[in-house]
Structures are given as structure tokens and as C-alpha cells.
Amino acid sequence: MNPLRDYVEHWFAHTALRTGRPNWLKLTEQWINDVASARPGFETELRQVALAALNSSQRDLIHRGLAALAVVGNSEDLPAIESLLTSSDSYISGAASTARFEIAHRAA
């Protein structure tokens, strides 16, 4: 049992992380940073939970995972994200594009 992981999974499941509009991504980043500043290790656990969410059959969880990865993801996550760029669901492909851009922008 990992209390931090349990917290992250609960937080992730109940927080409306979004991309799509510039202010939504800023809000997502602010929420993540606020929690991370109070809980060491939060970002690392959130990254793992978000990556797992990309394999979900629920589009909202996939989108939420992409939104989280736009903030805490790194170049190792790009293959998983890039596989969603060609999704026929524009909600998913748009979030994947945003996540890829944000990760590339941070790495530059």
C-alpha cells in the first residue's frame, strides 16, 4: 500500500484536468503545481497514473492523462502520446498534440 499513490489516483480520478483552451492548461498546471508543492513525489506518481490512463477505454480518462502529461510528462512519454495523435476522436488527438508540444517546448 502506497498512500501517496492512492492519493494521486484519487486526485486524478476526481480532478477535471483539461487542455483545449489556453487557460485550461494553465489551470491544470496550477492545480498540479499546488499539490506537488505540498506533496513530494506527487509529480512522479501522477506521471505514472497519467501514462496508465492512456490505455483506458474512457475518453475522459485518456484526455485527463494527456493533460497531466502536458504538465509533468517528459520525452520518454512521447511514443505513448504520439500514438494518440491519429485518433479519430478530435478531443483525444487535440490533447495529444498539446501534450507533445508542451513536452517538446520544455525540453528545448
Q: How far apart are CA 4 and CA 75, in angstroms?
A: 24
Q: Spell out the domain ranges in the chain.
A: 3-107
DSSP string, 67-86: HHHHHH--GGGHHHHHTTTT
The pLDDT averaged over each successive group of 10 residues in the chain (108 residues) is 94 92 89 96 98 97 97 97 97 96 85
- pTM listed for this prediction: 0.94
